[in-house]
Amino acid sequence: MFRTWVLMLIWSRPRFFADESLFLLLFRHLEAPPVFEDPNSLKKVQCPSIFDPAEKYISLIVPAYNEEHRLPGAIDETMNYLQKRAAKDKSFSYEVIIVDDGSKDETTRVAFNFVKKHTVDNVRVILLGRNHGKGEAIRKGMLHARGELLLMLDADGATKVNDLEKLENQIHAVAKQDFHYGDSASNDSSFKVSDIPVAAFGSRAHMEEKALATRKWYRNFLMKGFHLVVLLTAGSGIRDTQCGFKMFTRAAARKLFANVRLKRWCFDVELVFLCKWFGIPMVEISVNWSEIPGSKVNMLSIPNMLWELALMSVGYRTRMWKIHS
């Protein structure tokens, strides 16, 4: 019904939609109904938009596909950390958004159990219906988050959630530096970290030497080859693009996730490319990471990754993919 109404509005008032970016942005939000269900009341709750003012200090977006076994441990650890921090700091507010990417197991049930336990204000579940890919799941979560800061993290708990403080501190430092550089008359009372575009990338690059010594030769060959292709596609600046632990200010997330197109493994590389395009400062921070059994990445993922990188390169170089500010 709403889509029909919008189409009628476009047809009757074409000048209103003369700005292509407004047109595309609207239809991106129509890809799926921006509502989620409160399992306690069974009421449909309207999702907020990344373009609305922030309502929380931090949002944690967790993409989940067939994660019924690994998700409980990761979310329990995450909620314990967030609750302890909120108890110490009354100004600290948070939300966890679990994006179920068309799981075929009991991931949905597991996720909703956390909503029932922690309330829909603190934990929310977005259902994509069918599998789109990790990149699309994160994009959807980001577009409907309420935080000043937005953190993406994997459902396996491979990175310790308290490492977010490393990224958070660096984002605040860079944002304050840019804030004062942009306006010498500025004062801290008007500073809002959410208004300054900054991206922080968790990194496992410091662990690379140890990984090279323990992996099979062909895996090292593939890893080095992938790094070379990434360098040629997105350029230098970030050594580890694939770590699933990244934080963005709200201003950065608006620009990046309204434009990102890749839906699966290489959307991280596209984020680096878009950060450079928009001039968004990027910082890379070493995080504690451990390999958790059950990874979705395998040898068959390599051709798909290369295809996505080639698609991205052609799309942007030929300007078939438009970037909207």
Domain extents in the chain: 35-179+192-318
Q: 241 with 269: CB under 8 angstroms?
A: yes
The distance of Cα 50 from the centroid of its chain, to the nearest Å, equals: 12
The residue assigned the tokens 């989620």 is: 36
35-179+192-318: CATH topology: Spore Coat Polysaccharide Biosynthesis Protein SpsA; Chain A (3.90.550)
Q: Residue 239: CB partners within 8 Å, gap ≥ 6?
A: 203, 205, 208, 284
Q: 25 with 49: CB under 8 angstroms?
A: no
Phi, psi of 58 (to 5 degrees): -140, 140
DSSP result, 118-146: H-TTTEEEEE-SS---HHHHHHHHHHT--
Q: How many CB atoms are located within 10 Å of the residue 24 CB? A: 14
Q: What is d(CA 239, CA 180) in angstroms, rounded to the nearest whole number?
A: 28
The residue assigned the tokens 């789109």 is: 132
| Predicted TM-score (pTM) of this structure | 0.80
Q: What is d(CA 211, CA 205) in angstroms, rounded to the nearest whole number?
A: 10
pLDDT digit string (tens) for the chain, length 325 residues: 434 333 333 333 333 333 333 333 333 433 555 567 777 776 777 789 999 999 999 999 999 999 999 999 999 999 999 999 999 999 999 999 999 999 999 999 999 999 999 999 999 999 998 999 999 999 999 999 999 999 999 998 889 999 999 999 999 999 999 887 655 445 666 789 999 999 999 987 665 555 444 445 445 545 555 666 666 665 666 777 778 899 999 999 999 999 999 998 789 889 999 999 999 999 999 998 776 665 555 566 677 778 888 889 899 989 999 998 8
Q: Give the end-to-end CA distance of the chain in Å, rounded to a whole number.
A: 29
